[in-house]
Structure 1
Amino acid sequence: METQFFKDFDFTDFWNESSYSVRDYEEPFPDDELIISIEEELGYKLPASYIELMKLHNGGLVEKSSFPTSESTSWAEDHIGITGIMGIGREKTYSICGELGSQFMIDEWGYPAIGIYICDCPSAGHDMILLDYSDCGKDGEPKVIHVDQESDYKKTFLAENFEAFIKGLRDEDEFDGE
């Protein structure tokens, strides 16, 4: 598959290939029909870089699970942590339209309805990673932000787009432990 995004990015050791990942995150590769129906259900156009990555590996736990921040969050002073990336689908618990997907976080946890929640965090729902469409509109290129439920849904900017977010993920051990 010819890629438009992630051209110089090495995905070796990026995904965590565990039975938990397969059971709760990894969806079959999405076809155009599914993508369109998911976009209609959520009310937003999915970023092309997200779709491309999901056509290579549709959701899953990640080994590179930390992203540096310029301000402290409930997770750490200098980074946030993610558990996994939600795939395009409805079948797995942690897919964007799954049982604990984006709409669930908005409806049940009170997260702001300004985009699509695409990554869960180790806090088990107390913070999430959001594709934020509030500046670009429902068909634009969303920014990636961290939303902290524990701090009155404080938003922390992470990346200009999904591709930059993925390329910016680091191993947890690159950060000093508490």
Structure 2
Amino acid sequence: MQFLRGGGGGGGGFGGTAWEVLRRHFSRKRAVNVRRINPKVPKEEAVAISGRLLQILTDHGPLTVGNTWNHAKDAGIDGLNSKTHMKILLKWMTGRRAVKLTCTHVGNTKKFLYSPYTEDSSASKEETASSASAQPTQGIGKYARAQLKKQEAAAAAAAEAAAALH
């Protein structure tokens, strides 16, 4: 594809840049859609297991997969078949924004830690709650719409409680 590389021997120009963009775009793998992970058990059972795993993560802080599995074995969670099944459920919970996966660098190695999903600050919650009514909800997914409804309901309940006190 010599004709895309521009006129001179330097390899620059628009043709070379376009070629590099195309090459980078098609060489990347597609991102995993974590919301479509199959938890391998009925949804009610998956919700129950994920509640227990979330409790383990909140009690013991950010944990690796191995440490989470050790705590889950000690807790004796019903329906959790194996470490692989637990990893599938953790990925399912990540897609539903119940837990988050963070990476920490320890020397030359990386450590991946699961922790409960929380908002970073109360200021960001206030911004999302105030702008929720201003934003159209047509382009967002079902989970985000449900979260917006919950935030609006919580804001309305707080306003009613404040009005009742005065």
TM range (shorter): under 0.3
Question: TM-score normalised to the size of structure 2?
Answer: 0.25
For normalisation by structure 1, the TM-score amounts to 0.24
Q: Which has the larger radius of gyration?
A: 2
**Whose relative contact order is higher, 1 or 2, with alpha carbons under 8 Å and at least 6 apart?**
1
